[in-house]
Structure 1
Amino acid sequence: MYQILLVEDDKSIREVIADYMDEKGKDTMRLTLAEDGRACEGALERQTFDLIMLDVMLPDIDGFTLCRMIRKKDMVPIVFLTAKGSEEDILWGYGLGCDDYIVKPFSLATLYAKILAILRRTKQENKKETITCGAIRMDKQSCQVFVNEREVQLQNKQYEILRFLMEHKNIVWSRDALLNHIWGYDYIGVDRVVDNQIKKLRNALGEEGKRIQTVVGRGYKISDA
């Protein structure tokens, strides 16, 4: 049974989503409802969730701030449900580490399909002890990295960056997002530390380092292509 947290201050929207999810996913998912940021924090203290649906415009702590706080401790999938539909807001949401960004109004059927797809994908990814990208293979249990079956020695931060990128292939991550995920939100320093570690990581991976691509003006991603 998937455990899902819905954080939405609009009671009517909260109830409509809850009713639909309860009917469609009664055998697969269970919803916990929170009306604001404080209630969200309380729910997260009491139990763990498989996915969080998060409104942005909440009366106390906005959804973007909540996302940053959650990402400091957990990689649980986060789906924003919000009326803030500008490109700037959407890119900001993805930069913070959300898994999807859905603009209101939306189809309940589409929302359910997206939620189910993310849950299934995450379940499969969590089962994998080995992840690959091209000729790069990472054993998450032993924290070893191989290129063409030859082990590559990486420093801790380089390994963490590579693992994060490989677990989120083809997604562009800004420097700020990587700083938040790898170094933590309390990191005090310059964002160029990300560039330096990416450069060292590419060098360590040799020819396969080209799979870590720079997306000008946006950040970095890793790709099989």
Structure 2
Amino acid sequence: MTINLLLVEDDPEIREIISDYFTEKSGGTFRLDSAPSGEEGRQKCLEQEYDLVLLDVMLPEVDGFTICREIRKRSDVPIIFLTARHQERDRLQGYHLGCDDYIVKPFSLAELYAKVTALLRRAKGMASNEIISAGGIRMDLFRCQVFVNDQEAVLAPMEFAILKILLENRGRIVSRESLLIRIWGYDFAGNERVVDNHVKKLRKALGEAAGQLKTVIKRGYKLEG
């Protein structure tokens, strides 16, 4: 079976390196199509269906955030951002728009390959599942909406990102360190108290369902339901 990937990246060296690595590593299973500009990448997404999209943010003509927003209006294809933009606001923007992962350059090819294969496995088994829920909480991943007992709860991007991770790990403890790394990145200079502050805001936004979000002393947080 051939897996069709799209790489939208304006650096020809990066395109060549990723293409060669993925082709060799997959034994030819991965077929990597590429686009050197945002406009060409957008056109390819309109003309052909892909199993996964690798997307730079800073692109000629059309930026990656715009392309991601347009893709999410009609498709749940996995999207991974590959970008030099490492600021917290950029990561949060990417997740808010519906990306599945956000990788900052320079990156490990082996790690990128592992993330791609893991996302593809999950997508093949859950392609039609656009809603994740726990108890009275329901999240529409591709419309970026959260509902509590069928009433919409307005969440800031940071709280949305935290809730998404907790929903995906429903019933399991998620450490503060894990939340920091996944949302803020390895190079974040702050401490774990920033997580506690945003969880406090999340509880307030969840209203009636706030009791589902449990604090596990010295370990982290767990979402029940």
Report the TM range for the smaller structure's normalisation.
0.5 to 0.7
* CA distance 1:102–1:128, change in 2 (3 Å): closer
- Native 8 Å contact 2:38 2:62 kept in 1: yes
2:158 aligned partner, one-letter code: R
Match of 2:118 in 1: 117
User: How far apart are residue 70 of structure 1 and its match?
Assistant: 1.1
Q: Structure 2: state its 5+ residue gaps.
A: 171-222
Alignment gaps of 5+ in structure 1: 137-160, 166-177, 183-193, 203-211
Cα pair distance change 1:217/1:77, threshold 3 Å: closer
Q: Which amino acid aligns with 1:26?
A: G
1:25 maps to which residue?
26
| Alignment partner, residue 149 of structure 1 | none
Choose which of 115, 135, 140 in structure 2 pairs with 1:164: 140
Aligned residues: CA RMSD: 3.0
Q: Equivalents in 1 of 2:127, 2:157: separation in Å?
A: 31
| 1:36-51 to 2 correspondences below 5 Å | 36-51=37-52
Number of equivalenced pairs: 164
> Matches of 2:125 and 2:66 in 1, distance apart?
29
Classify the secondary structure of the residue corresponding to 1:218: helix
- Structure 2: how far apart are the matches of 1:132 and 1:86? 28
State the Cα distance separating 1:27 from its structure 2 match. 4.0
Which letter does structure 2 place at the counterpart of 1:9?
A: D
CA distance in 2, matches of 1:217, 1:91: 6
Aligned counterpart, 2:98: 97
1:74 Cα deviation from its structure 2 partner: 1.1
CA distance in 2, matches of 1:88, 1:75: 23
Q: How far apart, in 1, do the equivalents of 2:40 and 2:150 lie? A: 41
Q: By how many angstroms is 1:36 displaced?
A: 0.6
Matches within 5 A, 1:1-225: 1-126=2-127, 133-134=133-134, 162=138, 164-165=140-141, 181=143, 198-199=147-148, 201=150, 218-220=158-160, 221=163, 223=167, 224=170, 225=223
- Paired with 2:44 and 2:4, the residues of 1 have a C-alpha distance of 11
Provide the secondary structure at the position in 1 that maps to 2:34: strand
User: Could you tell me the TM-score, scaled by structure 1's length?
Assistant: 0.63
Aligned partners of 2:78, 2:51: CA distance in 1, in Å?
Answer: 7
Q: CA deviation at 1:73?
A: 1.4
Shift of 1:28: 2.7
Separation in 2 of the partners of 1:54 and 1:37? 9
Amino acid at match of 1:201: D
1:216: Cα distance to partner?
Answer: 6.6
Cα 1:127/1:74, change in 2 over 3 Å: closer
TM-score (norm 2): 0.63
| Alignment CA distance shift 1:217-1:64 (3 Å) | closer
CA distance in 2, matches of 1:56, 1:39: 14
1:208 maps to none
Q: CA deviation at 1:132?
A: 7.3
Q: What amino acid is the match of 1:109?
A: A
Cα distance change on mapping 1:90 and 1:132 into 2, 3 Å: closer
- SS of match in other structure, 1:24: helix
Tell me the secondary structure at the aligned position of residue 117 of structure 1. helix
Distance 1:217 1:40 in 2: 26
Deviations 1:98-121 (A, max 9, x none): 000000000000000000000001
> Distance between the aligned counterparts of 1:75 and 1:40, measured in 2?
17
The residue type equivalent to 1:164 in the other structure is: D
Between the aligned residues of both structures, percent identity stands at 46
Distance verdict in 2 for CA 1:31–1:102, change over 3 Å: same
